[in-house]
Structure formats: structure tokens, C-alpha cells
Amino acid sequence: MARSEAAARVRELLGDDTGRTYADEADVRLKDTPQPLYQLLVLAHLLSARIRAETAVAAARALFAAGMRSPRRMRDASWQERVDALGEGGYRRYDERTATQLGEEAELVLEKYGGDLRRMRAEADGDVDALRAALREMPGIGPAGADIFLREVQGIWPEMGPFLDERALKGARRAHLPTDREALARLVPREELPALAAALVRVSLERGTKDSHRAAA
């Protein structure tokens, strides 16, 4: 595919809801401040389970609407409050285990990073693998959750980009786009990389199973 054709296809993908990031869907106004970064971590956690992406997004919104928008508020909420919020979002298949993990995760964010994931970024010092390893120390965050976080955060942590994991590249193949990360990244401004990654993930899931989101690395 010629570069002009690839660029036109990308603009088509980004021109509708396919091009929304998952943070956008969850009403997380992502910027480089502690609260939205923590909310992205929670969202990545929820999205990484074998559950529909729409359900994970709804559960994240329910948690935030219930006041659990920061690690301190998440930690201080009761286990039952977390279960109830997850259930309200339809996240019932993993609600009890996830409620426990979210409490433990919040505690670790507070203890190790003072509630501020920018400290995690600083410790990684531009090393994607180091940041992925730090993310995987979080209870409930495995390879898929770490990749989801990195796909979304690269717009505000540009040293982590271009981050287009195997799930996104699978979508690129299905969309008949280049599967070279650098070539794909050159098709959009750097600030649009999270939206491109999300669009490609959705394309990769179009012919998936009833589990509409599992971002395996």
C-alpha cells in the first residue's frame, strides 16, 4: 500500500468512534497529573480481563462516579463498595477478585510512588521495558494490562512511543496497513498515536470471540 493510501485509511479509522482512545470512552481526561494517570491504570487493569471492552469501560466509570478516582480513595473504600461499583458497571465475572486487587494496587501506588505514577515514569527514565516491568508489579496488571497502559499513555509520555504492540499490529494487518511500527507511527502526529493504537486494536477484535477485549502482548 502506498503511503498516501495508508494515510487515507488511517484518517478514515480516526474519523469515527473507532479512533477514540479507551481513556476517552471512560471519561478520563488524560494528562500528566496524578489522578488521571491513576485512573488510566485502573482502566488498563479492567480492560485486561477476558471481558467485553464496553463492560470494562462502564465499570471504570462506575468506580470513578463512586468517588474512587485516586489511589487513596480506592484504598479507603471498602471491599464491598468496590464490588458494588464493579457490579454496577456490569463487571460481575471478576468483581470479587478485582475488588481485592484494586485495593492492593492502590496501596502499592501510595507506598511506592506516593500516589503519583509520574515517579514510576521518572524511575523508568525513558526505558519502555523498565516501565512495563514496573507496571507488572501492580496486582492484577499482567502483560496485557501493561501494554494497554503504554498504548494510551504514549501521547503524554512521548518517550514511550511509538508503542504499537502485537495486538495493534494485528489490527494493522487486518486493515492492510504497514506492520512496521515506525512506518505506522509516521502516518499520524505523535499526539494521535494513542488513538491510532486504539483504532487498530478495535480492528483486530472485529472478528474476535465473544470476549471483545483481551490485549495480549
Query: Model confidence over 52-87: pLDDT tens digits?
Result: 899 999 999 999 999 999 999 999 999 999 999 999
The SS3 of residue 52 is coil
Place 215 in a pLDDT band, splitting at 50, 70 and 90: very low
Please report which confidence band the pLDDT of residue 17 belongs to, taking 50, 70 and 90 as the band edges.
low
Name the least confident of 45-49, 59-63, 77-81, 91-95.
91-95
Decide: helix, strand or coil at residue 127.
Answer: coil
Residue with cell 480492528: 203
CA distances to 50, 103, 119, 213, 215 from 47, in Å: 8, 17, 23, 7, 8
CATH topology of domain 3-204: Endonuclease III; domain 1 (1.10.340)
What are the backbone dihedrals phi and psi of residue 123, each rounded to the nearest 5 degrees, phi first?
-70, -35
pLDDT for res 3? 76
Label residue 92 by pLDDT band (50, 70, 90): confident
Compute the mean pLDDT over every residue in the chain, rounded to the nearest whole number: 91
pLDDT at 93 over 90: no
Report d(CA 38, CA 115) in Å as an integer: 8
Global pTM?
Answer: 0.90
Where does the pLDDT of residue 217 fall: very low under 50, low under 70, confident under 90, or very high at 90 and above?
Answer: very low
* pLDDT, average across residues 134-153: 96
Place of cell 488511517: 10
Cα–Cα distance between 66 and 115 in angstroms, integer?
A: 19
